[in-house]
Structure 1
Amino acid sequence: MIFKVYYQEDANEVAVRENTKSMFVEGESQVEVRKKLKELKINIEYIQKVEGAYLEYEKINEDYKVLEI
């Protein structure tokens, strides 16, 4: 499954919408994705499962790439 992770680059940074970044990560669950990203020292705001039409829409975006961890 593919998950879209919304995050702040600094783990101590307060979540501000204008500074939120996103990445795509493959995993079996949100828990597994959190474990994979633990070493990155980022502030994870939200993890969303991406599938169906939403996934197809995201794949069209030139910034779409799944993080290999």
Structure 2
Amino acid sequence: MIFKVYYQELITEVPVREKTKTLFIEANSERDVRTKLAKNPYNIEFVTPVDNAFLEYEKQKEDFTVLEIE
């Protein structure tokens, strides 16, 4: 399953909408996503599964890439 992660680049940053970044990652669950990203200094705001029409919409964006972290 593919998840969309909303995050700040530094764990010390306060979440501000204008500075929020996103990435897509393949994982089995939200817990798996957070485990895979634990070594990064990200302040993760929100993790949501992406499927069906939402996934097709996201794929149309030119910067759409899915991270594959083991």
Q: TM-score range by the shorter chain?
A: over 0.9
Higher helix share goes to which structure?
Answer: 1
TM-score by length of 2: 0.97
Q: What do the CA deviations read for 1:23-53 (whole angstroms, capped 9, x no partner)? A: 0000000000000000011000000100000
Unaligned 5+ runs, structure 2:
none
Following TM superposition, where does structure 1 have runs of at least 4 consecutive aligned residues deviating by more than 2 angstroms? none
Q: Distance in 2 between matches of 1:37 and 1:61?
A: 23
The equivalent of 1:38 in structure 2 is 38
What are the equivalent positions in structure 2 for 1:19-58 lying under 5 Å apart?
Answer: 19-58=19-58
Unaligned residue ranges in structure 1 (runs of 5+): none
Superposed CA RMSD in Å reads 0.4
Partners of 1:2 and 1:24 in 2: CA distance: 7
What's the TM-score, normalizing by structure 1? 0.98
Mapped partners of 2:65, 2:4: distance in 1:
11
- How many residues are matched? 69
